[in-house]
Amino acid sequence: MIPTQEQIEQLVADLNATTQREMIRIKLSLSDSLALTDSKFGGMPYIPKGGSLPTSAEDKPLFMLAQINCEQLPENNIYPKKGLLQFWIAKDDYFGADFKNLCQNNTKKVLYFPEFSDNLPVEQIKKLYEKAILSKEIGKNFIGQEYEIELPFDPNKSLALNFESTHESISLQDINFNKLIVEKWNETFPNKISGFWGLSKEILSIFYKFLSTGFGHKIGGYPDFAQEDPREVDDPHKILLLQINSEYNDDFSISWVDGVANFFISPEDLAKCQFDDVMYYWGCT
């Protein structure tokens, strides 16, 4: 017997209710008035007194993709209550990702500063960062032509972050979605299935109306992927530490070609404020 639309809608409602996670939605706006320690995408980074700009093992500069001031977040149980979290990536063909070692800390770094009262003089930071921004990286395409490598964002532009506390149910792209939906379907209906994507187009269309896609800039919740989740079902990196989608408008652009970038961390590492095993992945269609 084929389930009715009402039965499928009830199944989805039950799944959504049991998989809810805390999430902080992020909306962006161009700003030239952000403080050094404000939350931002791009722009001038906080550098502690006596510190320096992060670099790769090859001594190539990294660039600050995002900076989150934990005290500026709405009340939440995801991030630390205080401190500054920064996400840095290299200017290379893969935007700092290593698809064979997603947790490497050479061309990607996630830095946490529990305290940030003392910093390098702003003019010194500006001078160091402008020098890094002016550095050029040259790549070659598949026919050997050289081109200048660009970052997925303009490091000269600061994007202010507006936070909204909410919740989100499991997304279609999450690694655990297929397992959960198959279990719930087979518990509910007599006609058993082995995989979600084998359902008819008519049934899938009902699911699509009520399931989350995971799209958007955010902290927590469930991920969006242009391709597929790189994690295994039992991967410890269960928490979405940060997600940044591509976005294009008259004021700014963020371009993962046309995709999305994700940073994941294990609950244990996050509880210890330990950020040296963060998984960084991005993909495009």
**Do 56 and 250 form a contact (C-beta atoms < 8 A)?**
no
The pair of three-digit structure tokens given for residue 272, joined into one six-digit string: 């210890």
pLDDT (mean) for 78-84 = 98
pLDDT tens track for 189-213: 999 999 999 999 999 999 999 999 9
**pLDDT higher than threshold 80 for residue 1:** no
Per-residue pLDDT for 74 more than 90?
yes
Mapping DSSP to helix (H, G, I), strand (E, B) and coil, where does residue 278 land? coil
Residue 142 has pLDDT above 80, yes or no: no
Residue 285: what pLDDT? 84
What digits encode the pLDDT tens for the residues 9-65? 999 999 999 999 999 999 999 999 999 999 999 999 999 999 999 999 999 999 999
Kindly indicate the confidence band of residue 6, based on its pLDDT and cuts at 50, 70 and 90.
Answer: very high
Residues composing the chain: 285
pLDDT of res. 2: 84
Q: Which fold has domain 5-283?
A: Hypothetical protein YwqG fold (2.30.320)
Angstrom distance (rounded) from CA 114 to CA 52: 17
* Cβ within 8 Å of residue 141, ≥6 positions away: 147
Question: Would you state the pLDDT for residue 174?
Answer: 98
- Measured N-to-C along each axis, helices 177-188 and 5-18 cross at an angle, to the nearest 10 degrees, of 130
Tell whether the model's pLDDT for residue 169 goes beyond 90. Answer: yes
pLDDT at 29: 98
Nearest to 110 by CA among 238, 280, 282, 275: 275
* pLDDT at site 139: 83
pTM metric for this prediction: 0.95
pLDDT at 87 over 90: yes
The dihedral through the CA atoms of 273, 75, 210, 190 has a sign that is positive
What is the mean pLDDT of the segment spanning 265-281?
99
The per-residue pLDDT for 138 is 87
pLDDT of residue 216: 98
Mean pLDDT calculated for residue range 224-233: 96
What angle is formed at CA 208 by the lines to CA 202 and CA 210, rounded to 5 degrees?
120
Is 27:196 a contact under the CB 8 Å cutoff?
no
Q: Report yes or no: 9 and 210 within 8 Å, Cβ to Cβ.
A: yes
Residue type, 157: K
Q: What is the pLDDT, as a whole number, of residue 232?
A: 95
Residue 144: what pLDDT? Answer: 79
- pLDDT, averaged across the chain: 96
Angstrom distance (rounded) from CA 113 to CA 37: 11
Q: pLDDT value at position 143? A: 82
Rounded CA separation 105/95 (Å): 13
**Residues 107-120: pLDDT tens digits?**
999 999 999 989 99
- Locate the domains of the chain by residue range: 5-283
Mean pLDDT on 137-162: 90
